[in-house]
Structure 1
Amino acid sequence: MIRLFRPADADSVAALIRLCLRTVNSRDYPPDLIDRMCAHFTPAKIKDLAGVREMFVAESEGITGTVSRDGNKVYTMFVHPDFHGRGIGSRLLHHIEDLAAAEGFDHMETGSSITGYGFYQRLGYVDVRVSDTDFGLNHILRRPLPRR
Protein backbone atom coordinates (compact mmCIF):
# COMPACT_ATOMS: atom_id res chain seq x y z
CA MET A 1 0.00 0.00 0.00
CA ILE A 2 1.27 3.47 -0.90
CA ARG A 3 0.06 6.37 1.19
CA LEU A 4 0.98 9.91 2.09
CA PHE A 5 3.61 10.37 4.77
CA ARG A 6 2.32 11.25 8.23
CA PRO A 7 4.44 13.08 10.83
CA ALA A 8 4.28 9.97 13.04
CA ASP A 9 6.23 8.16 10.28
CA ALA A 10 9.32 10.36 10.67
CA ASP A 11 11.24 8.04 12.99
CA SER A 12 10.57 4.99 10.81
CA VAL A 13 11.40 6.79 7.56
CA ALA A 14 14.63 8.21 8.98
CA ALA A 15 15.62 4.75 10.26
CA LEU A 16 14.81 3.22 6.86
CA ILE A 17 16.94 5.78 5.02
CA ARG A 18 19.87 5.33 7.40
CA LEU A 19 19.63 1.53 7.07
CA CYS A 20 19.68 1.80 3.27
CA LEU A 21 22.62 4.18 3.35
CA ARG A 22 24.64 1.93 5.66
CA THR A 23 23.86 -1.41 4.01
CA VAL A 24 23.36 -0.55 0.32
CA ASN A 25 24.83 2.86 -0.54
CA SER A 26 27.93 2.07 1.52
CA ARG A 27 29.04 -0.20 -1.35
CA ASP A 28 29.48 2.91 -3.53
CA TYR A 29 30.49 5.63 -1.08
CA PRO A 30 33.18 6.02 1.59
CA PRO A 31 32.26 5.69 5.29
CA ASP A 32 32.72 9.40 6.07
CA LEU A 33 30.23 10.36 3.35
CA ILE A 34 27.73 7.74 4.53
CA ASP A 35 28.07 9.14 8.07
CA ARG A 36 27.32 12.66 6.80
CA MET A 37 24.30 11.45 4.82
CA CYS A 38 22.98 9.53 7.84
CA ALA A 39 23.43 12.60 10.05
CA HIS A 40 21.43 14.63 7.51
CA PHE A 41 18.38 12.34 7.49
CA THR A 42 17.09 12.82 11.03
CA PRO A 43 13.40 12.51 11.92
CA ALA A 44 13.24 16.31 12.21
CA LYS A 45 14.75 16.71 8.72
CA ILE A 46 12.26 14.17 7.32
CA LYS A 47 9.38 16.20 8.79
CA ASP A 48 10.87 19.38 7.31
CA LEU A 49 11.18 17.76 3.87
CA ALA A 50 7.60 16.50 4.07
CA GLY A 51 6.55 20.10 4.66
CA VAL A 52 8.00 21.27 1.35
CA ARG A 53 7.55 18.15 -0.80
CA GLU A 54 4.86 15.55 -1.21
CA MET A 55 6.21 12.46 0.56
CA PHE A 56 4.87 8.92 0.30
CA VAL A 57 5.57 5.64 2.06
CA ALA A 58 5.05 2.04 1.02
CA GLU A 59 3.63 -0.03 3.83
CA SER A 60 3.83 -3.80 4.11
CA GLU A 61 5.03 -5.26 7.38
CA GLY A 62 5.87 -1.69 8.41
CA ILE A 63 7.29 1.05 6.22
CA THR A 64 9.22 -0.66 3.44
CA GLY A 65 9.91 2.29 1.15
CA THR A 66 9.65 6.02 0.68
CA VAL A 67 9.78 8.59 -2.08
CA SER A 68 9.02 12.28 -2.30
CA ARG A 69 8.35 14.68 -5.12
CA ASP A 70 8.06 18.33 -5.87
CA GLY A 71 6.09 18.64 -9.10
CA ASN A 72 7.98 16.49 -11.57
CA LYS A 73 11.14 16.09 -9.48
CA VAL A 74 11.83 12.82 -7.62
CA TYR A 75 13.57 12.97 -4.23
CA THR A 76 14.56 10.69 -1.38
CA MET A 77 13.75 7.27 -2.89
CA PHE A 78 14.66 4.36 -0.62
CA VAL A 79 13.41 0.78 -0.26
CA HIS A 80 14.25 -1.47 2.70
CA PRO A 81 17.06 -3.84 1.61
CA ASP A 82 15.00 -6.91 2.63
CA PHE A 83 12.34 -5.84 0.12
CA HIS A 84 14.56 -5.12 -2.89
CA GLY A 85 13.41 -6.83 -6.06
CA ARG A 86 9.74 -6.98 -5.06
CA GLY A 87 8.59 -4.02 -7.16
CA ILE A 88 8.15 -1.59 -4.28
CA GLY A 89 10.51 1.01 -5.73
CA SER A 90 8.95 0.90 -9.18
CA ARG A 91 5.44 1.15 -7.69
CA LEU A 92 6.45 4.16 -5.60
CA LEU A 93 8.02 5.81 -8.62
CA HIS A 94 5.06 5.08 -10.91
CA HIS A 95 2.74 6.49 -8.25
CA ILE A 96 4.41 9.88 -8.28
CA GLU A 97 4.88 9.79 -12.07
CA ASP A 98 1.10 9.32 -12.42
CA LEU A 99 0.49 12.30 -10.14
CA ALA A 100 2.90 14.46 -12.13
CA ALA A 101 1.35 13.40 -15.46
CA ALA A 102 -2.13 14.20 -14.14
CA GLU A 103 -0.85 17.68 -13.27
CA GLY A 104 0.32 18.18 -16.86
CA PHE A 105 4.05 17.54 -16.58
CA ASP A 106 5.60 15.95 -19.66
CA HIS A 107 8.62 14.38 -17.91
CA MET A 108 9.97 13.26 -14.56
CA GLU A 109 13.48 14.12 -13.40
CA THR A 110 15.65 12.85 -10.57
CA GLY A 111 19.09 13.22 -9.15
CA SER A 112 20.33 9.70 -8.56
CA SER A 113 23.12 8.39 -6.41
CA ILE A 114 25.60 5.99 -7.95
CA THR A 115 23.70 3.26 -6.09
CA GLY A 116 20.28 4.03 -7.60
CA TYR A 117 21.51 4.81 -11.11
CA GLY A 118 20.81 1.36 -12.62
CA PHE A 119 17.34 1.24 -11.05
CA TYR A 120 16.29 4.43 -12.81
CA GLN A 121 17.85 3.34 -16.10
CA ARG A 122 15.88 0.06 -16.00
CA LEU A 123 12.69 2.12 -15.67
CA GLY A 124 13.44 4.20 -18.76
CA TYR A 125 15.25 7.19 -17.27
CA VAL A 126 18.08 8.57 -19.42
CA ASP A 127 21.11 10.69 -18.58
CA VAL A 128 20.85 14.45 -18.73
CA ARG A 129 24.07 15.37 -16.93
CA VAL A 130 26.27 14.52 -13.95
CA SER A 131 26.86 16.91 -11.09
CA ASP A 132 28.92 16.89 -7.93
CA THR A 133 27.06 17.57 -4.67
CA ASP A 134 27.89 17.71 -0.98
CA PHE A 135 26.95 14.02 -0.91
CA GLY A 136 29.02 12.93 -3.91
CA LEU A 137 28.35 12.25 -7.56
CA ASN A 138 24.76 12.82 -8.69
CA HIS A 139 23.34 11.56 -11.99
CA ILE A 140 20.54 13.77 -13.32
CA LEU A 141 18.11 11.52 -15.19
CA ARG A 142 14.85 12.18 -17.01
CA ARG A 143 11.96 10.13 -18.38
CA PRO A 144 9.08 11.32 -20.58
CA LEU A 145 5.60 10.94 -19.09
CA PRO A 146 2.56 9.89 -21.08
CA ARG A 147 0.18 12.68 -22.08
CA ARG A 148 -3.16 12.70 -20.30
Structure 2
Amino acid sequence: MAEPTLSQEAVQASEPTDAFAAFLPFQIRPLQSGDLSKLIRIFRDAIQVSTAGHYDQQQRDAWSLAQNHESLISLLGDGETVVAEWDQELVGFAQRIQDSINMIYVHPDSARVGIATLLYQHLEDSARVEGLSRLTAHVSLTAHDFFQFMGFNSEGEEQADRGGVTLTRHLMRKSLVSN
Protein backbone atom coordinates (compact mmCIF):
# COMPACT_ATOMS: atom_id res chain seq x y z
CA MET A 1 0.00 0.00 0.00
CA ALA A 2 1.55 3.27 -1.07
CA GLU A 3 1.51 6.05 1.48
CA PRO A 4 -1.64 8.05 0.82
CA THR A 5 -1.31 11.76 0.12
CA LEU A 6 -3.81 14.49 -0.53
CA SER A 7 -3.30 16.12 -3.90
CA GLN A 8 -4.15 19.78 -4.31
CA GLU A 9 -6.84 18.77 -6.82
CA ALA A 10 -8.47 16.45 -4.27
CA VAL A 11 -8.51 19.19 -1.65
CA GLN A 12 -10.07 21.68 -4.07
CA ALA A 13 -12.59 19.15 -5.40
CA SER A 14 -13.88 18.29 -1.96
CA GLU A 15 -14.81 21.89 -1.14
CA PRO A 16 -15.02 21.40 2.63
CA THR A 17 -17.54 23.44 4.55
CA ASP A 18 -15.01 24.04 7.32
CA ALA A 19 -11.85 25.80 6.12
CA PHE A 20 -9.74 23.77 8.60
CA ALA A 21 -11.06 20.47 7.17
CA ALA A 22 -9.06 21.02 3.97
CA PHE A 23 -5.86 20.39 5.96
CA LEU A 24 -6.97 17.18 7.62
CA PRO A 25 -5.50 14.22 5.76
CA PHE A 26 -7.99 11.69 7.09
CA GLN A 27 -11.45 11.38 8.54
CA ILE A 28 -12.96 9.22 11.27
CA ARG A 29 -16.42 7.88 10.49
CA PRO A 30 -18.75 5.03 11.49
CA LEU A 31 -18.19 1.61 9.98
CA GLN A 32 -20.18 1.00 6.79
CA SER A 33 -21.00 -2.42 5.34
CA GLY A 34 -18.80 -1.76 2.30
CA ASP A 35 -15.76 -1.35 4.59
CA LEU A 36 -15.80 -4.83 6.04
CA SER A 37 -13.91 -6.68 3.31
CA LYS A 38 -10.95 -4.28 3.60
CA LEU A 39 -10.50 -4.50 7.37
CA ILE A 40 -9.02 -8.01 7.56
CA ARG A 41 -5.97 -6.77 5.60
CA ILE A 42 -5.49 -3.85 7.98
CA PHE A 43 -5.89 -6.22 10.94
CA ARG A 44 -3.33 -8.74 9.66
CA ASP A 45 -0.80 -6.23 8.30
CA ALA A 46 -0.86 -4.21 11.53
CA ILE A 47 -0.15 -7.34 13.56
CA GLN A 48 2.52 -8.76 11.26
CA VAL A 49 4.48 -5.52 10.82
CA SER A 50 3.74 -3.21 13.74
CA THR A 51 4.13 -5.76 16.54
CA ALA A 52 7.34 -7.41 15.27
CA GLY A 53 9.42 -5.69 17.95
CA HIS A 54 7.46 -7.37 20.77
CA TYR A 55 6.20 -10.69 19.41
CA ASP A 56 7.95 -13.45 17.47
CA GLN A 57 6.71 -14.77 14.12
CA GLN A 58 4.80 -17.69 15.67
CA GLN A 59 2.95 -15.31 18.01
CA ARG A 60 2.16 -12.84 15.22
CA ASP A 61 0.88 -15.63 12.97
CA ALA A 62 -1.35 -17.06 15.72
CA TRP A 63 -2.71 -13.60 16.57
CA SER A 64 -3.32 -12.48 12.99
CA LEU A 65 -4.99 -15.77 12.07
CA ALA A 66 -7.19 -15.81 15.20
CA GLN A 67 -9.79 -13.91 13.18
CA ASN A 68 -10.89 -14.91 9.72
CA HIS A 69 -12.93 -12.67 7.46
CA GLU A 70 -16.30 -13.93 8.72
CA SER A 71 -15.41 -13.88 12.42
CA LEU A 72 -13.97 -10.35 12.19
CA ILE A 73 -17.10 -9.12 10.41
CA SER A 74 -19.26 -10.74 13.09
CA LEU A 75 -17.18 -9.22 15.89
CA LEU A 76 -17.23 -5.74 14.36
CA GLY A 77 -21.02 -5.83 14.40
CA ASP A 78 -20.92 -5.53 18.20
CA GLY A 79 -20.56 -2.23 20.02
CA GLU A 80 -19.30 0.86 18.22
CA THR A 81 -16.80 0.56 15.37
CA VAL A 82 -15.24 3.51 13.59
CA VAL A 83 -12.86 3.61 10.65
CA ALA A 84 -10.16 6.01 9.50
CA GLU A 85 -10.17 6.93 5.85
CA TRP A 86 -7.21 8.66 4.25
CA ASP A 87 -7.42 9.89 0.67
CA GLN A 88 -10.45 7.60 0.18
CA GLU A 89 -8.55 4.53 1.46
CA LEU A 90 -9.33 2.73 4.70
CA VAL A 91 -6.22 2.83 6.89
CA GLY A 92 -7.47 1.92 10.37
CA PHE A 93 -10.34 0.96 12.61
CA ALA A 94 -11.25 0.84 16.27
CA GLN A 95 -13.99 -0.74 18.33
CA ARG A 96 -15.54 -0.20 21.74
CA ILE A 97 -17.91 -2.71 23.29
CA GLN A 98 -19.57 -1.15 26.33
CA ASP A 99 -16.68 0.02 28.58
CA SER A 100 -13.96 -1.93 26.75
CA ILE A 101 -11.73 -0.70 23.95
CA ASN A 102 -11.68 -3.95 22.03
CA MET A 103 -9.54 -3.05 19.02
CA ILE A 104 -7.45 -0.29 17.51
CA TYR A 105 -5.57 -1.22 14.35
CA VAL A 106 -3.83 1.09 11.87
CA HIS A 107 -2.17 -0.13 8.69
CA PRO A 108 1.63 0.13 9.13
CA ASP A 109 1.96 2.33 6.03
CA SER A 110 -0.21 4.91 7.81
CA ALA A 111 1.15 4.56 11.34
CA ARG A 112 2.51 7.34 13.52
CA VAL A 113 0.53 10.23 12.03
CA GLY A 114 -2.20 10.45 14.67
CA ILE A 115 -4.79 8.08 13.24
CA ALA A 116 -4.89 5.77 16.29
CA THR A 117 -5.18 8.80 18.56
CA LEU A 118 -8.20 10.15 16.69
CA LEU A 119 -9.83 6.72 16.53
CA TYR A 120 -9.36 6.32 20.28
CA GLN A 121 -10.55 9.86 21.07
CA HIS A 122 -13.74 9.27 19.11
CA LEU A 123 -14.48 6.13 21.15
CA GLU A 124 -13.67 7.86 24.44
CA ASP A 125 -15.90 10.81 23.56
CA SER A 126 -18.82 8.52 22.79
CA ALA A 127 -18.22 6.61 26.06
CA ARG A 128 -18.39 9.90 27.95
CA VAL A 129 -21.61 10.86 26.15
CA GLU A 130 -23.06 7.51 27.24
CA GLY A 131 -22.10 8.33 30.83
CA LEU A 132 -19.49 5.61 31.29
CA SER A 133 -17.17 6.16 34.24
CA ARG A 134 -14.18 4.15 33.00
CA LEU A 135 -12.68 2.32 30.06
CA THR A 136 -10.72 -0.91 30.07
CA ALA A 137 -8.50 -2.51 27.45
CA HIS A 138 -6.46 -5.68 27.04
CA VAL A 139 -3.42 -4.11 25.43
CA SER A 140 -0.56 -5.66 23.48
CA LEU A 141 3.01 -4.93 24.51
CA THR A 142 3.26 -2.85 21.35
CA ALA A 143 0.26 -0.67 22.25
CA HIS A 144 1.10 -0.31 25.96
CA ASP A 145 2.88 3.06 25.61
CA PHE A 146 0.11 4.44 23.38
CA PHE A 147 -2.56 3.56 25.94
CA GLN A 148 -0.43 4.94 28.75
CA PHE A 149 -0.11 8.20 26.79
CA MET A 150 -3.90 8.23 26.42
CA GLY A 151 -4.24 8.14 30.22
CA PHE A 152 -4.60 4.43 30.93
CA ASN A 153 -2.86 2.71 33.84
CA SER A 154 -1.64 -0.87 33.70
CA GLU A 155 -3.06 -3.27 36.23
CA GLY A 156 -0.42 -5.81 35.27
CA GLU A 157 0.50 -8.28 32.63
CA GLU A 158 -1.73 -11.16 31.62
CA GLN A 159 -1.50 -14.01 29.14
CA ALA A 160 -3.80 -14.50 26.16
CA ASP A 161 -4.07 -17.72 24.20
CA ARG A 162 -4.34 -17.60 20.41
CA GLY A 163 -4.53 -21.06 18.90
CA GLY A 164 -2.36 -22.60 21.60
CA VAL A 165 0.21 -19.79 21.43
CA THR A 166 0.66 -17.51 24.44
CA LEU A 167 0.79 -13.73 24.03
CA THR A 168 1.67 -11.37 26.88
CA ARG A 169 -0.47 -8.25 27.17
CA HIS A 170 -1.55 -5.69 29.78
CA LEU A 171 -4.90 -5.13 31.42
CA MET A 172 -5.29 -1.36 31.47
CA ARG A 173 -7.94 0.99 32.86
CA LYS A 174 -8.78 4.66 32.58
CA SER A 175 -11.16 6.66 34.72
CA LEU A 176 -13.43 9.01 32.80
CA VAL A 177 -14.56 10.94 35.89
CA SER A 178 -12.73 13.65 37.75
CA ASN A 179 -11.68 12.90 41.30
* Identity score, percent: 24
Structure 2 residue 168 is matched with structure 1 residue 144:
no
Q: Give CA deviations for 1:2-58 in whole Å, capped at 9, x if unaligned.
A: 112123222211100111111111221121121112212322122111222321111
Distance 1:49 1:109 in 2: 18
Structure 2 residue 133 is matched with structure 1 residue 106:
yes
Aligned residues: 147
Indicate which of 45, 48, 60 corresponds to 1:34.
60
Is 1:111–1:138's contact at 8 Å kept on the other side of the alignment? yes
Q: Give CA deviations for 1:53-101 in whole Å, capped at 9, x if unaligned.
A: 3211111131111110111210121112122221111111010001111
Structure 2 residue 152 is matched with structure 1 residue 121:
no
Deviation at 1:134? 0.7
Distance 2:50 2:112 in 1: 13
1:56-75 → structure 2 map (5 Å cutoff): 56-61=82-87, 62-75=89-102
Is 1:10–1:44's contact at 8 Å kept on the other side of the alignment? no
Deviation at 1:146? 4.5
Q: Give CA deviations for 1:104-133 in whole Å, capped at 9, x if unaligned.
A: 111111110011111111111111232111
Is 1:7–1:47's contact at 8 Å kept on the other side of the alignment? no
Indicate which of 109, 114, 127 corresponds to 1:82.
109
- Pick the structure with more helix per residue: 1
SS in 2 for 1:92: helix
Query: What code does the residue aligned with 1:144 have?
Result: S
Distance 2:161 2:150 in 1: 26
SS in 2 for 1:47: helix
TM-score with structure 2 setting the length: 0.76
Indicate which of 26, 30, 50 corresponds to 1:24.
50
Query: What code does the residue aligned with 2:55 have?
Result: Y
Indicate which of 39, 43, 59 corresponds to 1:13.
39
Give the gaps of 5 or more residues in structure 2. 1-26
1:124-135 → structure 2 map (5 Å cutoff): 124-135=151-162
Distance 2:126 2:177 in 1: 11
Q: What is the RMSD computed on CA atoms of the aligned residues?
A: 1.5
Give the gaps of 5 or more residues in structure 1. none
TM-score with structure 1 setting the length: 0.91
